[in-house]
Amino acid sequence: MSLTLRTISREQHLAYIQSLPSASHCQVPAWADVKSEWRSENLGWYDDRTGELVGAGLVLYRQLPKVKRYLAYLPEGPVINWYAPNLDDWLQPMLAHLKRQGAFSVKMGPPVVIRRWDAPAIKSGIQNPEVKRLRDVEASHIEPRAFEVSDRLRKMGWQQGEDGGAGFGDVQPRYVFQVPLANRSLDEVLKGFNQLWRRNIKKAEKAGVEVVQGGYEDLAEWQRLYEITAIRDKFRPRPLGYFQQMWRALNSEDPNRMRLYFARHNGVNLSAATMLVVGGHVWYSYGASDNIGREVRPSNAMQWRMLRDAYALGATVYDLRGISDSLDETDHLFGLIQFKVGTGGEAVEYIGEWDFPLNKLLHKALDIYMSRR
């Protein structure tokens, strides 16, 4: 297939995304409005034979201090046929275009899954004192084509980003946790939860915890719980304005793109979460909880409601987003995988983020700058 790359309108980009079963929420046109401190551009790949749009990418450009040079970033994208044997024909025109736009370096996150571990495999890894990392556990499923994609990228001069397996920070997570919903009944999904989760869901029900959806006007209450969480878990919270902007941007593109949930007990909100929807893929995006009321298990009740709502929307996967690949109980991120594995889902490893230095000197300078931050 011979291809032509050109800039497309947001409308064309959105129509293409809507024609697919799903795509990452970081690749919808409105994500550019969420990341408004970056300049953005929508790219489209056309099949020369049919004139049809066959791929799209949201590019975010971040300017280097004091020079008119940019880091070009395609988070969890571009949305192309990654398994195409002529991957060069997709990516070379993109690199040439980004170079003309003043990019000195390109970072992308191919949405290509390489390994999956089901809950029993993860549990056996946790129980084995010899095992410290997910990658030391035999995967339940391996995608051989993903290795071919990595090989092709290396041959083209792409470099795999260093994420240390943690899956956090400014980069998109390499390891995520997902609950598959396709071809399963809700009863089957609930049966897949471990005993503790099922007990906690019952406990919340008995205690009278109610889970409700909130709107834009409730984001200040979300922020209150989120800032309590930030103090407790020692991270720097995003400001309220970020979530307000996110809500306005995403829901003006699609009224169902972003949702807000609260779990409350006796009229008091104890936990909250944001949810993102693109086609058949639903993400639990941000979570927050108070230091009080934990005994009535609001978080378990809220997740179960969100998962049921995702199912009702026809989702094929409920994605609990980033996890660390550490299975070491002394690791501060271990609790995260422990909480998520209780849903009976699977840990999923993507091939990670990749960099292409268009200007090696500036790329190196950025590396040094980032490592000192």
Structural contact between residues 270 and 289, judged by C-beta atoms closer than 8 angstroms: yes
* Cα diameter, the chain: 63
| Residue 266, number of CB atoms within 10 A of its CB | 11
Please give the pLDDT value at position 372. 63
Closest Cα to residue 302, out of 290, 314, 323?
Answer: 290
From residue 329, alpha-carbon distances to 49, 125, 126, 332 in Å are 55, 11, 8, 8
| Cα 220-14-104 angle, rounded to 5 deg | 85
Fill in the amino acid letter for 39: R
Question: What is the Cα–Cα distance from 33 to 35, expressed in whole angstroms?
Answer: 5
Helix axes 195-207, 298-312, angle to 10 degrees: 100
Q: Where are the alpha helices (DSSP H) in the chain?
A: 10-18, 31-34, 87-100, 119-127, 144-156, 186-192, 195-207, 219-233, 240-253, 298-312, 334-341, 360-372
Q: What are phi and psi of 214, to 5 degrees?
A: -110, 175
For residue 249, CA distances in Å to 32, 183, 253, 340 come to 9, 32, 7, 29
pLDDT tens digit at each of 373 positions of the chain: 899 999 999 999 999 999 999 999 999 999 999 999 999 999 999 999 999 999 999 999 999 888 889 999 999 999 999 999 999 999 999 999 999 999 999 999 999 999 999 999 999 999 999 999 999 999 999 999 999 999 999 999 999 987 544 333 457 899 999 999 999 999 999 999 999 999 999 999 999 999 999 999 999 999 999 999 999 999 999 999 999 999 999 999 999 999 999 999 999 999 999 999 999 999 999 999 999 999 999 999 999 999 999 999 999 999 999 999 999 999 988 988 999 999 999 999 999 999 999 998 888 877 776 666 5
Residue 106 C-alpha from the chain's centroid: 19
**Total residues belonging to the chain:** 373
Contact 39, 73 (CB under 8 A): no
